[in-house]
């Protein structure tokens, strides 16, 4: 027979995760609404200056997400109580979703500065975004996806710092 206190604890954790997911969705909606109200349209062509500034911030964020996802993969190798496993899995899924959203904006911003950046970089961003969208629908991104994200963020950062970008 299941331990009632443990069942209550798991129910509490799941309730908290549902609340956190709802707040995350609400926060993304508010940001999108605010951007649209301020005239920022992610589907429109941006000036090179705006796109490059946006890309610099996104690259840093992608690097942080890759590092955190790598940590979750390492932690997943060990034995852990179900409660901490649930919380880590939720956080990792949230990070995969954020990475997919950021990669979508990276791809759009790269299209805005093309041909100043190599076509292969634009295509790589699109493929990564597709992989992370798929990871978000089917579970965690695998270790290879995290490696690709980290390498992409690093190489894009170097390319953005380079005076001749292509």
Q: What is the dihedral of CA 85, 75, 130, 102, to 10 degrees?
A: 90
Compute how many other C-beta atoms are within 10 angstroms of the C-beta atom of residue 35. Answer: 12
Q: Are 85 and 96 in contact (CB under 8 A)?
A: no
pTM here is: 0.74
Helices (H), 38-81: 48-76
Count the Cβ atoms, other than its own, within 10 Å of residue 102: 20
Contacts of 97 (CB under 8 A, 6+ apart): 136
23-27, 35-39, 93-97: which has the highest mean pLDDT? 93-97
pLDDT value of position 126: 92
Could you report the per-residue pLDDT of 69-97, keeping only the tens digit for each?
888 877 776 677 777 777 888 888 888 88
Structural fold of domain 45-161 = 1.20.120
Task: Provide the residue ranges of all domains of the chain, joining segments of one domain with +.
Answer: 1-40, 45-161
Residue 35 contacts residue 42 (beta carbons within 8 Å): yes
């Amino acid at each position: 027979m299941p331990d009632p206190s443990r069942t209550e604890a798991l129910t509490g954790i799941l309730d908290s995760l549902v609340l956190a997911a709802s707040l995350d969705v609400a926060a993304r909606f508010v940001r999108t609404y605010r951007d649209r109200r301020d005239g920022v349209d992610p589907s429109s062509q941006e000036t090179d200056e705006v796109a490059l500034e946006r890309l610099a911030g996104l690259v840093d964020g992608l690097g942080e997400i890759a590092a955190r996802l790598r940590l979750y993969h390492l932690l997943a190798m060990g034995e852990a109580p179900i409660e901490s496993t649930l919380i880590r899995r939720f956080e990792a899924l949230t990070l995969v979703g954020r990475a997919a959203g950021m990669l979508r904006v990276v791809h759009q911003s790269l299209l805005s500065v093309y041909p100043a950046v190599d076509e292969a970089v634009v295509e790589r961003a699109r493929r990564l975004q597709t992989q992370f969208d798929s990871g978000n629908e089917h579970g965690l991104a695998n270790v290879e996806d995290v490696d690709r994200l980290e390498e992409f963020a690093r190489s894009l950062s170097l390319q953005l710092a380079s005076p001749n970008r292509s």
